[in-house]
Amino acid sequence: MADFDALLEAIHQRGMQLLLDFVPNHTSDQHSWFKESRSNKSSPKRDWYIWRDGDGSGGPPNNWQSLFGGSAWEYDSTTGQFYFHQFTKEQPDLNFRSPDVRAAMMDVLRFWLRRGVDGFRVDAVAFLLEDVMLRNETCMVNGTTTDKCNSWDSMNHTWTFAQPGFHDIVRSFREVLDEFSNATHPRFMVGEMYAPKLEDVIKLYGNATSPECHFPFNFLLIGLTSSQWTGVTLSQNIAQWLDATTTDQWPNWVLGNHDNHRVATRLGEHMSRAANFLLLTLPGTPTTYYGEEIGMLDGNVTWNQTVDPSALNTGNISLSRDPERTPMQWNMSDNAGFSAAGVKTWLPVSDRHLDVNVAKQMTDKQSMLELYKRLVRVRSAQPALQHPNYRLITATTSLLAYVREYNATTSTAAHQYLVVLNVGASAVIQANLTVPTMSAYQSQGVVELSASLTYNSSIPLDLGNFTIASGDAYLIQLTSS
């Protein structure tokens, strides 16, 4: 804990905040709670987990499947019952219908909040409850409806996902944070939920009288492939989130995380600069996955090096998330500065660490890291990029342009920015833009920042006739003609 306390203090001294990853759904099978629970049926912690008898013929209690392959039930010979696990068998689900479990997990939050942490990312919130009657799921297998489920994806998830009552649990998490939150030290909570319907994700905001997360992760952009990476599709996904939320629901955007291939791998290295530009100029909070600020790609992880259970349990390496989880590339040394030389890291270091690393980019004024730092600086300095405003100007296959402005009726040009991105494959396109309702500022502008870091900002830009290369982006301060 001394190391953690030193880390937290150093982060706060730098004016930053530290969020912890809170995983309430399950514990390790090596946790003392589970060891006690599995020891005998009369254990005081027996109902802290979900134990059931089999189906009478040696099989599990029902047809529920694990996300990582196989039945979601594991037989335990100690007491002759099965325990439930949505994820791996080494991760038994806690029983959140037990008041003792809820109280214990609230105390986990309080422990860290008392130490001074600033909040939590709450993992997999939609998995906290399951149908108490353990009813079988219906499944779709080879186009046929059946109760013979062969995977988690085949299930309809009527009884195993987003069950009634889980929002009450999320609200109770928020209540604990609010116990510690004040004007000088606000506490923060973001929730993770992948759901087929956006409206179900938006519900995680809660409401004014029953708040839940400060915001749930917005994954609308993270699933876009290179073929979907067009101005039209981007504008539609941006509008979908903004239209689904109210003015008091703070927006956010995610382009990369530990469950998806890295941006530079998904979209191509040439497009990763424009992707960061988009992320850091949209309204609301951007979430950057480690390494995206230097343009890291997926690492090469062989089958013998694979540790992700989603691949190991299915025998399918294409399901592995290990490539996007390789160690951070700090420098050119052995193990990329992530671990000491000679140490065997959990996952192999990418061989690209020799040319893509922090140390190299720190001295390169044209690097991705330099771009990222400059984007952060301009966000911090300009009210137009801090307030949750967004106005689409145009969206085509190749071009996306939008305005960020602050107090538009009375603001000066310094508070009005036009963002233009070329997300197409064409080397250069010619743009002809007008900025409606801003006649005093519509004809020209000054490029304050370009994704390529090559534009000469001393030359005014004619909005009616300019070119922009593939993968480039401009942040244009609007000026009068």
pLDDT in tens, 125-160: 999 999 999 999 999 888 889 888 989 999 999 999
Residue reference for tokens 């145009």: 394
* From 137, 192, 298, 324, the catalytic residue: 192
Q: What is the pLDDT of residue 311?
A: 95
First to last CA, the chain: 60
Is 166 within 8 Å of 128 (Cβ atoms)? yes
Integer angstrom CA distances of residue 292 from 114, 200, 233, 323, 362: 32, 28, 22, 14, 15
Strands (E), 293-451: 391-395, 399-405, 416-422, 428-431, 444-450
- For residue 26, the cross-strand partners are 93
> Which amino acid appears at position 391 of this protein?
R
Tokens describing residue 395: 């969206």
Which letter does DSSP use for residue 232 in this model?
H
Is 66 within 8 Å of 152 (Cβ atoms)? yes
Q: Is 123 tagged catalytic?
A: yes
The rounded distance, in Å, linking the Cα atoms of 279 and 221 is: 10
The b/e string for 427-438 (b: 16+ C-beta within 10 A; e otherwise) is eebebebebeeb
The number of C-alpha atoms within 13 Å of 174 and in the hemisphere containing its C-beta is 23
Is 242 within 8 Å of 198 (Cβ atoms)? no
- Residue ranges, the chain, pLDDT below 70: 408-414, 436-442, 479-481
Interval 89-107: pLDDT, tens? 999 999 999 999 999 999 9
The DSSP annotation for 323-367 comes to GGGSPP--SSSGGGGTS-TT---SSPPPGGGGTS-HHHHHT-TTS
Q: Is 192 tagged catalytic?
A: yes
Element (H, E) at 267: helix 263-267
Q: What is the CA radius of gyration of the chain?
A: 25
Q: Helical H runs in 245-318? A: 263-267, 272-281, 309-312
Q: What is the pLDDT of residue 437?
A: 47
Q: What share of the chain is helix, strand, coil (3-state, %, to 5)?
A: 30, 20, 50
Tokens describing residue 180: 């510690």
Integer angstrom CA distances of residue 93 from 87, 125, 249, 421: 8, 12, 31, 45
Sign of torsion over alpha carbons 188, 192, 198, 203: negative
Tokens describing residue 352: 């690209």
* From 36, 47, 90, 123, the catalytic residue: 123
Please give the model's pTM, rounded to 2 decimal places. 0.94
Which letter does DSSP use for residue 265 in this model?
H
Q: What is the pLDDT of residue 282?
A: 98
Is 122 within 8 Å of 192 (Cβ atoms)? yes
The rounded distance, in Å, linking the Cα atoms of 245 and 307 is: 38
Q: What is the pLDDT of residue 427?
A: 75
Q: What is the CA angle 118-210-94, rounded to 5? A: 65
The rounded distance, in Å, linking the Cα atoms of 169 and 234 is: 34
